[in-house]
Amino acid sequence: MSDCLFCKIAAGEIPSGKVYEDEVCYAFNDIAPQAPTHFLVIPKAHIASVAGISAENSTVVAHIFEVIARLTAQLGLNSYRVVSNIGEQAGQSVPHLHFHVLSGRDMTWPPG
């Protein structure tokens, strides 16, 4: 999508604090971190949210979780939270599938 913020970040049109990149996904530091470690992992292909995952595109999600496991291991994180908000009421502010990875502080439950 030409007007999608995260599509533009993944394409390199908007600067970001890149953490990781491959042909399928892009990871970057959150601009308003909620924990000492807080980065997002997004698919390069536009998917609006978890609600847009289908049999045709679900392999990208498996790949993203493999990347999250690899990155958190490389960063020495053995306790972390992975979050995806779906819809405005849940707190999704950018309509592009993304997974927040947060670590380095106590995470409360329930969140929010």
Nearest to 13 by CA among 30, 29, 31, 1: 1
Q: Residues 38, 96, 98, 100: which is the catalytic one?
A: 98
Residue 44 CB coordination number (10 Å) = 16
CA distance 46 to 86: 15
Cα 43–112–49 angle (5° rounding)? 20
Is 38 marked active-site? no
Q: Give Rg (Cα) of the chain.
A: 14
**C-alpha distances out from residue 89 to 3, 12, 25, Å:** 22, 29, 26
Structure tokens, 10: 């993944």
Q: Which residues are catalytic?
A: 98
